[in-house]
Amino acid sequence: MGRPPVKPSAALDRGLLPSLLGYVLRRAQSAVFDDFANTFAKAGEALTPGEFGLLVLVDRNAGLSQMALARALGIDRSTLVPILDRLQERGLLMRHRSPTDGRTHALALTPAGEKALARFARLVRAHEKRIASQLSAAEIRILIDLLEKVHTG
């Protein structure tokens, strides 16, 4: 009669999961997302990684259409609409009329959006430093490289 076979707060048996690239990737991604949210919350800002990526894309490609942006983000154009609505309501971004094509909107950051993006970029740098704190510079390069290979397929 030893103790009952159920250990009070023992770690669960995860079976083959820890050996699966997909599983480990998902967990790392989740940890990174949490740190991102935390970093911004502590700074009194509200932004998701997706929104940050979107803002950078619009910043670096002024006049972009919504279709081109949706394609670059890998989402449907209808998914993009409420996301842009929100960013526009926050005064970070504008939908201008394209002079050459009446169907499309030429996206651009507002001056306030540019300033906010600079602020966000600073937070992202701090966030990146934190999530890579256990990695050497060489390891970070390797990791990014390998992830790129996974993405390319």
Interface residues with a copy of itself (CB under 8 A)?
6, 12-32, 35-36, 49-50, 53, 56-57, 59-61, 63-64, 68, 72, 74, 121, 124, 127-128, 130-135, 139-140, 142-144, 146-153
Asked if 55 is part of the footprint of DNA (rule: CB under 7 A), the reply reads no
Binds 86, which of a copy of itself, DNA, none (CB < 5 to 8 A, cut-off by type)? DNA
SS (H, E, C) the chain: CCCCCCCCCCCCCCCCHHHCHHHHHHHHHHHHHHHHHHHHHHCCCCCCHHHHHHHHHHHHCCCCCHHHHHHHHCCCHHHHHHHHHHHHHCCCEEEEECCCCCCCEEEEECHHHHHHHHHHHHHHHHHHHHHCCCCCHHHHHHHHHHHHHHHHC
Asked if 26 is part of the footprint of DNA (rule: CB under 7 A), the reply reads no
Question: Closest separation between CB of residue 135 and a copy of itself, Å?
Answer: 6
Of 1, 3, 10, 78, the one binding DNA (CB under 7 A) is 78
What are the tokens at 102?
């009446």
Of 2, 18, 44, 82, the one binding DNA (CB under 7 A) is 82
Asked if 90 is part of the footprint of DNA (rule: CB under 7 A), the reply reads no
Asked if 8 is part of the footprint of DNA (rule: CB under 7 A), the reply reads no
